Homo-oligomer: A and B are copies of this chain.
């Protein structure tokens, strides 16, 4: 039996579940957890969605009417945990007590760093998203019953994770199977326009005013490195939250000829969050690591405790070694 069949067999044989994911939820995290929640509900299982963190503003539309519980709100026994999109057992966003008392952990994930910590694991690091793996499970289940289990709600959740984790089909993890999945989800009623508008097309007006200011700081070094600055004064002046401007990093990477893009985001005096992106060959996670941060080869970050000009100088020095 393969892992998908193991998971389906386990789910059919057990009754009580907690579904959860990693801290700092994103679209794939919430899309995969919520689709599993709906699936278990449809099978008349007893299921709780538990996550000790808040949903980002642009994903709130997905969980309207859904109660996401904190760990201390759950009273459940003899339960299994289904951990979705969580590459590291330590990042599962429930209390240690809930984690320790679970009779089993089922892990469905696509992170390369996943060490197969579950009792049953369905890990595919080539998959576009964890939502693509949940889709495979639900497809197999549907096929085995000769009846489709993916309704509009589930299709919308799965589409959200697929769209967010692939940069809406722009990243190289978009495979033919991802397009096949997108096609089927549209046919099954995924509310695509709603997803796109909420996730990608609902920036506040002030965000663009701040972007205009930030672009005035755009600088190119050696034709291959671009940096941009967002100071705490800019955030204050435009009434934008510190956590809501990370998307600006892409404006550095998306410049012709640029290999490494840097966003310097001032949190407070002498504390600068640095986001790094690369296009083709520089491993920015190694650069972030030099400053105590981390991440992926093409997207990483760190926090450096100094003024914006000094942090810029230090980070540029490090990036120049890799160019």
Chain B residues with CB below 8 A from A209, complex form: 215, 218
In the complex, are the beta carbons of A212 and B208 less than 8 A apart?
A: no
Say yes or no for A66: interface residue by CB 8 A criterion.
no
In the complex, are the beta carbons of A253 and B218 less than 8 A apart?
A: no
Known: A179-B186, A183-B180, A186-B176. A205 touches B192 (CB 8 A): no
- The residue that A255 contacts in the complex, of B172, B182, B208, with Cβ under 8 A, is B208
Q: Interface with B: A77-85, A131-139, A194-202, A267-275, which one? A: A194-202
Say yes or no for A204: interface residue by CB 8 A criterion.
yes
Tell me the smallest distance from the CB of A200 to a CB of chain B, in Å: 7
CA distance A13 to B184 in the complex (A): 39
- The residue that A215 contacts in the complex, of B175, B176, B208, B256, with Cβ under 8 A, is B208
Say yes or no for A323: interface residue by CB 8 A criterion.
no
In the complex, are the beta carbons of B254 and A201 less than 8 A apart?
A: yes
Tell me the smallest distance from the CB of A209 to a CB of chain B, in Å: 7
In the complex, are the beta carbons of B170 and A200 less than 8 A apart?
A: yes
Chain B residues with CB below 8 A from A174, complex form: 186, 192
Chain B residues with CB below 8 A from A214, complex form: 212
Known: A186-B176, A215-B212. A200 touches B254 (CB 8 A): yes
Which residue from chain B places its CB closest to the CB of A166 in the assembled complex? B169
How would residues 206 to 219 of chain A score, 1 for a CB under 8 Å from any chain B CB and 0 otherwise? 00110111111010
In the complex, are the beta carbons of B169 and A169 less than 8 A apart?
A: yes
In the complex, are the beta carbons of B254 and A202 less than 8 A apart?
A: yes
CA distance A13 to B123 in the complex (A): 54
> Can you list 27 A-B pairs, Cβ within 8 angstroms, ordered by A?
A168-B168, A168-B169, A168-B170, A170-B200, A172-B192, A174-B186, A175-B186, A176-B183, A176-B184, A179-B179, A179-B182, A179-B183, A180-B183, A197-B280, A200-B254, A202-B254, A202-B255, A202-B256, A203-B254, A203-B255, A205-B220, A205-B256, A209-B218, A211-B215, A212-B212, A212-B213, A212-B216
Known A169-B169, A203-B256; 4 more pairs at CB < 8 Å: A179-B180, A197-B279, A203-B254, A211-B212
